[in-house]
A and B are shown apart, each in its own frame.
Chain A
Amino acid sequence: MNAIIFSAIFGVVMMFSGVFFSSKQLIRNLAIGLMAALLVLNAAELQGYGLFDINLNNMLHFTSFGLVFNCIAFAATFIYLLLSARDIEQVGVNLAEYFALIFFILCGVGIATSFNSLLMLFLAIEIISIPLYILTGSDKRNLKSNEASLKYFLMGAFSTGIMLMGIALIYGATGTFSLDAIATATKGFETLLTGGLLLLLIAMSFKVSAAPFHFWTPDVYDGAPTVFTSFMATIVKAAIFAAFIKLFEKAYLPSVASWKAALTFIIVATLFIGNITAVFQQSVKRMLAYSSIAQAGFMLFALFGYSDFGKEGILLYAAAYSAATIGIFAILLKMSDYTFDGYNGLAKREPVLAFVNTIFLLSLAGIPLTAGFFAKYYMLVAAVKSGASLWLVIFAVLCAAVSVYYYFRVIQAMYFKTATTEDVTTAPVTINFKVILIVLAAIIVLLGLFPHWLFTKVYF
C-alpha cells in the first residue's frame, strides 16, 4: 500500500515542482530523492512497517512476492534516473512532467503486482499505459516519435477493448471479478468463461509484446525517445509480466492443461520471431526492441512452469534483464550513431563503457557468471519440472544460442573494429556515470554468483 499511495503523491509533487522551481538541477535531484524515498518506503512495508491499514475489500492483496517485485522495479527506476535523468532533460521542455508521469507509472506497477480483482488489473494496466502514450510522443517535433505514439495509443486502446470484453465474459460466467472466485467458478457457463479467458490471454500477450501480437513493439520502441524506450522495455514490461503471472496462477491454472497448448504456441512464436528478426537489424536500438521480444519469450516460461521455481525465476529475470537493458540503453544514449558501426572502436575511446557494456550484453545472452545465465536456467528448470516437452526446452536453448550472435556483434564492433570515420563520436560522460555503470555491472555479476540472495525476502 505504501508504494501505491506514495508514488501517486510523489507524482503530484513532481508536477507542482515544475511550477515552483525553475532550476532543472533542482527538479532532477528532487525526482531522484523522491525515488529513493519510494524505494525505502516499499522496503519498509516488506519489513512489516506498512503505514496504511485500509479495508480493500480483498481487491488488492499484498504478498511478499509482489513487494519484492516492487523493490526490484523501484531500484531499477532509481538507477535509471541516476543514469539517464540528464538525458530526460534533452527530450523536451516539460522536465517535471516527465518525472511525474514516471511516478504515476510506478503507481500502476504497485497495483499490477498486488491486484486480486480483475477491476484492479484493468486499472493497473491503464495507469501504466496512458502515461506511456504521452512519454512515447514527448518529442513533439519529431515525426518518428509522433508515429510511434499514435501507433502505440491505437494498439494499446484496441487491446484494452479486447481485455475488457474478456473480463466482461468472465464476469458473465462467474458473477464476480475476484480472482479467487474465478478459480472455483460454477459450472454451466464454460463457453463464456473459456472465451473470456482466451480474450484476456490475447490482450495480455499484446501488452507484454508476445508473438503473434508483437508487431507494434519494434516500431514503438524505435520511434520513442531512447531514454523512454529504456524505461518502457524494462520496468514496465517486467511489471506487466508480474501481473500476467499472478493472473495465470489464479485464473488459468485450474484448467491449465487446455491452456498449455496455446501458451506453447505463443512461446515458440515469440522466441522464434524475436531472435530471428533481431539478427537482421542494422540499428542497435531496433535490435534491442527485438531482443526484448525474445526475452519476453523466456519470461513466458514462468507462466508455463508455474511453481516456486518459476516465481523465483521471474524475479531474477526481471532484475537481470532490467539492469542489463537499462545499462545498455544508458550507453546507447551517449552514441551519436545508433547503428552497429557506431560502436566501432569504443574500447579505444571509452574502455570503461566498453567493458561494462560487454558485461550487460553477456548477461542478456545468458553467459554463465552473469545474472542472465541463472535467470534463463531457472525458467527452463521450472518448465522441465512442470512437464514441458523436451523439444520446447531444446528450442529455447537454440534460440538463446542465436541471440549470442547479435549481442556479440556489438562486442565485436567495440573491441575488434576501428572507427572508419571521425564523425562517429561519443558524448562526454562524467565520472559519476561511469561509477554507477560499474556498480550496475557488479550487481549483475553478484546476482550471477549468488542468485539466492534475491529470494531471501520472499520467504522470510
Chain B
Amino acid sequence: MPVNYYIFVALALFSIGVVGVLTRRNAIIVFMCIEIMLNAVNLLLVAFSKMHAAVYAAAAPATVTGTGIDGQLFVFFIMVVAAAEVSVGLAIIVMMYRNIHSVDINFLNRLKH
C-alpha cells in the first residue's frame, strides 16, 4: 500500500484527537483523545520508517541494514513515556475526583478570577 494512505489515516486520527481535546468536557475523555494523538504519531512514524527503508533499499541495496529503524525505535520511547504519563495523569484525575466528586473540566475555570 502507498504510504499516502497511512499518512491520511494518521492525520485523521490526530485531528480527531485534537478536536476531542478542544471540545470534550470530561477529563478522562480529554485524556483518551490525547492518547489517540500519540497513537496517530506512532502509526505515522512506523509508516515513514518503512517508507525510508524502501527508499534506501531502492537507492543502495548494500546499505539497507538499519536504515529507517530509528523511526520504529522512537515508537517504543513514545509508548513508554505515554505509559508514565498515564500513571501520573490518572492519579491526578483520581485526586481531583476525591476532592470534588466530578471529573468535569469546567471546574478548571474557577482558577481564573
- Residue numbers of A with Cβ under 8 A of B are 119, 122-123, 126, 130, 133-134, 137, 140-141, 143-144, 146-151, 153-154, 157-158, 160-162, 164-165, 167-169, 171-172, 175-177, 219, 222-223
Contacts and interface: CB of A to CB of B under 8 A. Distances in A.
A153 B111 CA distance: 15
B108 interface: yes
B38 A161 contact: yes
Nearest to A120: B77
B41 A150 contact: no
Given A154-B34, A161-B34, A161-B37, A222 B111 contact: yes
Nearest to B36: A161
B108 to A, nearest CB: 5
A24 B58 CA distance: 64
Interface string B14-53: 1001100100000100110010011011001100100110
Contacts of A141: 99
A130 B17 CA distance: 21
A164 B95 contact: no
Given A154-B30, A161-B41, A168-B41, A126 B81 contact: yes
A133 B91 CA distance: 10
Contacts of B99: 141, 143, 146
B81 to A, nearest CB: 5
A369 B99 CA distance: 49
B33 to A, nearest CB: 9
Given A154-B34, A157-B34, A133 B71 contact: no
Given A143-B100, A157-B89, A172 B44 contact: yes
A63 B41 CA distance: 31
A148 B111 contact: yes
Which of A123, A141, A157, A222 is the most central at the interface, judged by chain B CB atoms within 10 Å of its CB?
A: A157
B111 A157 contact: no
Given A119-B70, A171-B71, A172-B51, A158 B45 contact: no
Which 7 A-B pairs rank lowest in CB-CB distance, beginning with the nearest?
Answer: A161-B37, A175-B52, A219-B111, A164-B41, A172-B48, A168-B44, A157-B34
Contacts of A223: 111
Contact of B74 (A150, A151, A165, A177): A177
A144 B112 CA distance: 11
B55 A175 contact: yes
Contacts of B7: 172
Contacts of B40: 165
B88 interface: yes
21 contacts: A119-B74, A122-B78, A134-B91, A143-B99, A146-B95, A149-B92, A149-B95, A151-B108, A153-B88, A154-B30, A160-B38, A161-B17, A161-B34, A161-B37, A165-B44, A167-B41, A167-B74, A168-B41, A171-B48, A175-B67, A177-B70
